[in-house]
Amino acid sequence: MISIFRQQQLKHEERRLNTMTQRRVPFFFVVSLILSFFLFTTNLLASSTQENSPTRKTPTPTPEGFALSRTFIHMAQQAKNSVVNIVVKKTIISDVAPSTRLPILGKPLLRQFFEKSSIPEEEMSLPESREQEMTSGVIIQSDGYILTNKSVLDHAYDIRVQLIDERVLKAEIIGQDQSTDLAVLKINAFQLPTFRWGNSDVLQVGEIVMAVGNPFGLSQVLTIGVISATGRGNVGFVDYESFIQTDAAMNPGNFGGALLNMKGELIGINTSILHESSGNTGIGFAIPSQMAKTVATSLMKQGKVLRGWLGIATQKLTPDLAKHFKTSHGKGVIITDLAKDGPVGRAKFQRRDVILEYKDMPVTTPRQLQSLIAETEPGTSITIKRLQGGKEKDVVVKVEEFPVETSPRTSLKRKGDPQLLTGVTVESVPRNFPGTEGVLVVEIAPGTLGDKQGLQEGDIILDINQTPIRSVEDFEKLARQLSRQDTALLLLRRENATMYLPLQNQLAPMSSSQHQLLP
């Protein structure tokens, strides 16, 4: 009986399994169908995407990319050793007069209650403040000579140089040059790494350069850019401007640092940025290496800069001027004035001569020629190609040292009613100026008639009321004769133009459009 029961149980179990199997088959079939559809759709979309989009491959560096990267790495390693951090502690003296520090102190009756000092006001010391600046410098000689910007050293009482090995050494100033904003420092160190000087005269727009410095106190900051222009002038930073312009990022602290070419050569000293705020805007300037090297060498040898001088004033040759001078040359500069006893005057050069080349180098602008002359060592004989009367000729001229002379000076003081030229200080025209006639205006007191009516420092007064001025004594004599007059007519030379300037006691300041230019 048990066996019969067992047989029934087995049959029931078999039927149950068959039923479950029949139920599972449709389920697995449906699931398999869904999965197959999903995989098919995925493959179809992937195939469609590959057909409609470009094939993306993992970029692999090219041999040229590896070479460029290795060049930058080599430049960076050398730059970190030869560019130093300079910390300058300086004393700043306020130029605010004692009586104007507080408005209340400007009233004599009240000032006595606040100021108990018995020292006269003009002898009272002005307020001082101390500050610290950080800038950059470039090692130019292994025995501790460093080139940097001069302006950051003004009023310095302590200068320290930090080297790559973290040594901090005291530095002394060997020489400074205001005209190029360069200075040479010396530290007590030897076997220092230096840059190899590059030739800035052969630079081209578009060349890749690296700027190295310490902006905002961050050491050894490297930036890459290109040269945007060479020979850039009329920027207004210094007297001798022939800057390299670059978009390599520069910020405060970069100044005095290095500008390198792709060979790792020093082609410039970073000097300034053109900005509307304190940050970089992509326009930076560097002093070209040819100028920097000449200035540095002179400062190390003599402690000052000996500059060449020819005794000429020039103007750029424009297409319109070329027609008047009947020349097909598109480049060159015109001599507008010259010192008769100067090197060019003795070589029989004349006004209206066109200088085409200086030492076989084409001359394009007055700024360029000025820099070339200044960089020439005094006593050197050079060849100038000039155009005179339609004929070209090579003339040998001996460059002389730029003359620096102390000229006699006079100034009309205020006495009672102001005279027409009260507050105007003049001196003899320096020998390095083209022409010797007239007197040079070196200072004009603010608020005086001359200041209000258009007279400027740097003007040369040639005559007063049609009477020639040949000396400081002539000026003083004629100026005092104006004490009883309400008007005067001055003949001035301003830069390359000659002009009349009327002065009047009661009239408002004249606009520059009223000035009459003479040919």
**Same domain? 397 vs 507:** no
- Domain assignment present for 370: yes
Q: How many whole angstroms separate alpha carbon 301 and alpha carbon 174?
A: 9
How far is CA 368 from its chain centroid? 15
Question: Please, which residues have CB within 8 angstroms of residue 325's CB and are 6 or more apart in sequence?
Answer: 317, 334, 352, 354, 387
Same domain for 421 and 358: no
- Give the max Cα distance, the chain: 159
Report the distance separating Cα 491 and Cα 502, nearest Å.
9
Picking from 305, 336, 362, the residue at the C-terminal end of a domain is 305
> By the 8 A CB rule, do 286 and 270 touch?
yes
In whole angstroms, give the CA distance from residue 223 to residue 100.
Answer: 46
Count of the separate structural domains present in the chain? 3
**CA 383/CA 363 separation, integer angstroms:** 13
**Residue 119 resides in a domain:** no
Closest alpha carbon to 156 in 179, 176, 127? 176
Tell me: do 511 and 425 sit in the same domain. Answer: yes
**Rounded CA gap, 161 and 152, in Å?**
14
Instruction: Compute mean pLDDT per 10 residues along the chain, 519 residues long, and list them.
Output: 53 58 52 55 53 53 74 81 92 53 41 44 56 92 96 91 93 93 95 94 94 83 92 75 89 88 94 62 87 94 90 86 78 86 91 92 88 90 93 94 60 52 83 72 84 85 87 84 77 76 63 35
396 neighbors 381 (Cβ within 8 angstroms): yes
Residue 10 lies in a domain: no
Residues 6+ apart with CB under 8 A from 463: 438, 469, 490, 491
Based on the fold, state whether residues 173 and 322 are members of the same structural domain: no
**What is the pLDDT at residue 74?**
79
Is residue 409 exposed (0-12), middle (13-18) or buried (19+ Cβ within 10 Å)?
Answer: middle
Q: What is the 3-state secondary structure (H, E, C) of 269-295?
A: EEEEECCCCCCCCCCEEEEEHHHHHHH
Task: Name the residue type at position 29.
Answer: F
308 DSSP β-pair partners: 401
Considering only CA atoms, which of 310, 364, 304 is closest in space to residue 337? 310
**Residue 168 forms beta bridges with which residues?**
162
In a domain, residue 153? The reply is yes
Which domain CATH number covers 488?
2.30.42.10
Burial class (CB in 10 A: 0-12, 13-18, 19+), 429: buried
Q: What confidence score (pLDDT) does residue 102 get?
A: 42
Residues 287 and 144 in one domain: yes
pLDDT recorded at residue 236: 66
Map residue 63 onto helix, strand or coil.
helix
- Residue range(s) defining the domain that contains residue 326: 311-401
| Full DSSP string of 88-136 | EEEEEE----GGGSSGGGGSHHHHHHH----S-GGGSPPPEEEEEEEEE
Residue 427 lies in a domain: yes
Asked if residue 245 lies in contact with residue 283, where contact means CB atoms within 8 angstroms, the answer is yes
Residue 459 within a domain: yes
Q: What is the pLDDT of residue 400?
A: 92
Identify the H or E element spanning 174: strand 172-177
Beta-sheet pairing, 284-288 with 460-464: unpaired
In a domain, 30, yes or no: no
Would you give the DSSP letter of residue 196? Answer: P
Same structural domain for residues 264 and 137? Answer: yes
Same domain for 316 and 300: no
Q: Assign residue 273 the CATH number of its domain.
A: 2.40.10.120
Contact 343, 379 (CB under 8 A): no
Q: What is the pLDDT of residue 14?
A: 61
Q: 153 and 293 share a domain?
A: yes
**∠ CA(30), CA(36), CA(42), 5° rounding?**
135
Q: 268 and 146, same structural domain?
A: yes
Give 286's strand partners.
244, 270
The CB-based long-range contact list for 381-386 (8 Å cut-off, 24+ gap) reads 382/358, 383/357, 383/359, 384/355, 384/357, 384/358, 385/355, 385/356, 385/357, 386/349, 386/353, 386/354, 386/355, 386/356
- The model's pTM is 0.63
276/330 same-domain check: no
On whether residue 285 sits in a domain, the answer given is: yes
Same domain, yes or no, for 235 and 147? Answer: yes
End of a domain among 401, 426, 444?
401
Structure tokens at 232: 């850039």
Choose the final residue of a domain: 262, 280, 305. Answer: 305
In whole angstroms, what is the distance from residue 171 CA to residue 186 CA? 5
* Helical (H) or strand (E) element with 31: helix 2-52
- The number of angstroms, rounded, from the C-alpha of 175 to the middle of its chain's C-alpha atoms is 20
For residue 307, the Cα-to-chain-centroid distance in whole angstroms is 20
Which amino acid is located at 182 in the chain?
L
Cα 401–chain centre separation: 26
- Quick one: 139 and 235 in the same domain? yes
Evaluate whether 224 touches 233 at the Cβ level (below 8 Å).
no
Q: Which residue has the tokens 């100033």?
A: 173
Q: In the prediction, which pLDDT does 73 show? A: 85
User: Which residues on neighbouring strands pair with residue 145, listed in sequence order?
Assistant: 141, 186
385: Cβ contacts below 8 Å, ≥ 6 apart: 355, 356, 357, 392, 393, 394, 395
